[in-house]
Amino acid sequence: MDFAFSEEQEMFLAMFRDFSAKEVAPQAEELDHEEALPLDALRKAAQQGFLGATLPEKYFGAELDYLSYVLLVETLAADSVSMAVMLATHVSLAAMSILENGDEAQKEAWLPVMSAGEAIGAFALTEPDAGSDAVYQGGSGWQTRATPEGDDVVLDGVKSWVANGEVAGIFVVFARGPEGGDAFLVPADASGLTLGYREPTLGLRSAAFNRLYLEKCRVPASNRLGAPGAGVEIARQAQDRMAIALGAAGLGVAASSLDVASQFATERVQFGVPIAEKQAIQRYVAEVLTEVEALRYLVYHAAWAVDRGDGFSRDASVVKAFGAKVARNATNQMLQVLGGYGYMEDYPMARKYRDARALGIIGGPTELHHVRIAQDVFAKRDVDVVP
């Protein structure tokens, strides 16, 4: 296996780093403190083609390979996990669900405007009493109902933790239909759709998570993605794609935390010498670097598997679970290197620490991904593992 990036991937990486340094990093702290969304950065990301990162050129996408795409997410997360999560939600969950499951009319209607940033994609899967478990139950846990009425479908229910809800132009909404779980494309201006409050969060304060109310929300039956009852599989595919993207986000925030703390250690003097000369600090740095590099190979390998067309469901869960662990551990230990400065909101480590903690929850909690990994292991021994 060749571990080197291609010349084109190196070019993309340089472009991503330049963009993030100019458009994301300078505003990250201020937006976090104000709990404001990175709207200007999203607009400029659209101009660069990043919002159509993995979409074909025929839909005005950049048609990046998946490894280049995870490099984009990793780079953005190094400066702002919020920005990375918003972009990954738009691309991995919404746009690619349409690309892989939509008919040509749906693709032509939505993918060009999503690539241009004229319609941000949101993903409405979770409900107050149903999270990732609903997917394992074949959609039976969803209380949101899809009722056919002539050429239309009427949606009724409540969705929670809808990523990108506040800025969305199109929602991918999951509901129980007559033949099982279904997925529907619901425009933000659809009658009967009401955007609720934005969830206050410990971290990811520059990302939007909203309640979504569907009260006799009527959409054409042609807005269903895939065949009747295909919603559960569509959700699983989307979760796998997002798991790899979130692993890349974990890599970005972990590696950048190491960079921040190691620089601080060369400048902070205690007992007459920089603390970088202290063995305790060196141990923190060495342990975190080892975990970061292990995660790097897992993330890149999973993206490579996607590009090859290999099955990647297990790899996605491994990357997601380990990425959350590494991000949490790295930010925790590097905050310790900064000491009191790390605990101050004036320094980026406090934000990185809070943001990293979310990666063990969003996109399916770590415990769920552990179950999925165990299922793969024990399936070879005829043991049925259930959540």
CA distances from 383 to 137, 342, 361 (A): 18, 46, 27
d(CA 118, CA 78) in angstroms, rounded, equals 26
Q: Which CATH number applies to 121-229?
A: 2.40.110.10
Q: What are the φ/ψ torsions at residue 201 (nearest 5 degrees)?
A: -130, 155
Q: Express each pLDDT in 325-355 by its tens digit.
A: 999 999 999 999 999 999 999 889 999 999 9
Which pair of structure tokens corresponds to residue 201?
A: 């969060």
**Prediction pTM value:** 0.95
Q: Express each pLDDT in 181-195 by its tens digit.
A: 999 999 999 999 999
Structural domain 233-379, CATH architecture: Up-down Bundle (1.20)
- Which CATH class name applies to 7-120? mainly alpha
Where, residue-wise, is CATH 1.20.140.10 in the chain?
A: 233-379
CB contact at 8 A, 386 and 351: no
Average pLDDT over residues 17-25: 98
3-state secondary structure at position 365: coil
Where, residue-wise, is CATH 2.40.110.10 in the chain?
A: 121-229
- Average per-residue pLDDT in the chain? 95
> Residue 310's pLDDT is what?
87
Where, residue-wise, is CATH 1.10.540.10 in the chain?
A: 7-120
d(CA 360, CA 161) in angstroms, rounded, equals 15
By residue count, the chain amounts to 387
The vertex-213 CA angle with 112 and 153, nearest 5°, equals: 65
> Residue 111's pLDDT is what?
98
> Residue 382's pLDDT is what?
86
What spatial distance separates the first Cα and last Cα of the chain, rounded to whole Å? 35
Confidence band for 130, pLDDT divided at 50, 70 and 90: confident
Q: What are the φ/ψ torsions at residue 206 (nearest 5 degrees)?
A: -105, 20
Q: What are the φ/ψ torsions at residue 124 (nearest 5 degrees)?
A: -110, 85
DSSP string covering 240-285, please? HHHHHHHHHHHHHHHHHHHHHHHHHHHH-EETTEEGGGSHHHHHHH
d(CA 362, CA 243) in angstroms, rounded, equals 9
3 or 144, greater pLDDT: 144
